Amino acid sequence: MAYMASAPPGSPRQTGPAKFPPGQEKSGSSCQGFLKSKVKADLLFGKLFSFDVPVLMWDEHFTPMTWSSLRDRNVPYGWHSLPYSVLSSTLKLMNDSANSWLFDARPPGNCVRCAVVGNGGILNGSRQGKAIDDHDFVFRLNGAVIRGFEEDVGTKTSFYGFTVNTMKNSLKAYKEDGFIKIPQSEDLRYIFIPSDLRDYLMLKSAILGISVPEGHDEGDRPSKYFGPQASAKKFKLLHPDFLTYIRSRFLTSRRMKSKYGHLYMPSTGALMLMTALHTCDQVSAYGFITDNYEHFSDHYYERVKKPLFFYANHDLLLEAKLWKGLHQHGIMKLYQR
């Protein structure tokens, strides 16, 4: 696999996000900073990781400098063709202090242990539910079916990651498999991946508590997805510079040079896993593609085995090499069987 060590175009000038509210950045845990120190000591990945890249975007990032940097880059890596008025009005609503940090509170023991749960068939019959729930924070994404699979995938959800497109497609495609609504709870936080204009419009409407006023999702009510009391603090927004950095440093695919290159972006699962790898002290990945993916169904909740289908907009085999490499270098744990 060819990892890129050069800086991504338009490298971010902002500093990395705070993980916790002010006053909670305390030391003392033997595990605190474990992943970061492991990365820095690694000859390969030490050159690729940059913990100064901003993972999240909030209102303070909407500056003339940021606009100038991002307006010529296509989504999801920038804002080309996106109306300034929509971006401005949306990001100004991301003004709760909680929008600038990922975790609301530091867990007991001062060690941030995260599980990122993909939807791969490898989890069917895995009995990994308890191990997943034993983590401090659990990331889920897209068609995250839980009911009936608790023993395999657990029940805890701290973060749910998606684009509006993947969320809605999952609700349609996996309805018969039990995915009838996205996870909701008072403590759950939603991570928007800004892949298109509709993500900014949905986010804005969700914070304001109104129907989407225009575009592809016009008239849709965000409250049916995120609940009626979804204030600004429930939402996190990945920074376009973070998406650029992930693609340029870790997941530069040959597909980018094909006729479908304009469609390529890392998968939702990849972006959630990379988010965890840049914010947590320990990371375990469950339900992600492994070398023997052909032994398992596409998703863990399918009643009849379906082969994993490779779409042009992702490069899952490239992602598989990355997860394997990170596991072999001891930077994260990849569940395999």
Selection from 32, 91, 17 nearest residue 275 by Cα: 17
Q: Output the pLDDT for position 13.
A: 41
Task: Enter the tokens of residue 321.
Answer: 């090499």
Selection from 284, 252, 290 nearest residue 35 by Cα: 284
List all residues 6 or more positions away from 167 whose beta carbon is below 8 Å from its beta carbon.
142, 182, 225
Selection from 270, 272, 277, 269 nearest residue 332 by Cα: 277
Beta bridge pairs of residue 162: 192
In this structure, how many other beta carbons lie within 10 angstroms of the beta carbon of residue 88?
A: 13
Three-state secondary structure call for residue 114: strand
Q: How far apart are CA 131 and CA 189, in angstroms?
A: 21
Q: How far apart are CA 326 and CA 39, in angstroms?
A: 10
Q: Give the domain 34-334 fold.
A: sialyltransferase cstii, chain A (3.90.1480)
Q: Output the pLDDT for position 10.
A: 42
Three-state secondary structure call for residue 111: coil
Selection from 90, 92, 93, 71 nearest residue 82 by Cα: 71
110 band by pLDDT with thresholds 50, 70 and 90: confident
More confident residue, 24 or 95: 95
Q: How far apart are CA 293 and CA 314, in angstroms?
A: 16
Amino acid (1-letter code) at residue 175: K
Three-state secondary structure call for residue 278: coil
**Edge-to-edge order in the sheet of strand 235-237:** 235-237, 189-192, 159-162, 137-141, 113-117, 282-286, 333-334
- Residue written as token pair 């490069």: 315
pLDDT digits (tens, 9 = 90+) for 290-310: 999 999 999 999 989 998 878
Q: Are 253 and 264 contacting, i.e. CB atoms less than 8 angstroms apart? A: yes
List all residues 6 or more positions away from 168 whose beta carbon is below 8 Å from its beta carbon.
none
DSSP 135-178: SSEEEEESS---TT-HHHH-S--SEEEE-HHHHHHHHHHTTTTT
Selection from 38, 137, 104 nearest residue 236 by Cα: 104
139 band by pLDDT with thresholds 50, 70 and 90: very high
CA-based radius of gyration for the chain: 19
- % of the chain at pLDDT higher than 70: 91
- Domain spans, the chain: 34-334
pLDDT digits (tens, 9 = 90+) for 213-272: 999 999 999 999 999 878 899 999 999 999 999 999 999 878 777 777 788 899 999 999
Q: How far apart are CA 230 and CA 87, in angstroms?
A: 20
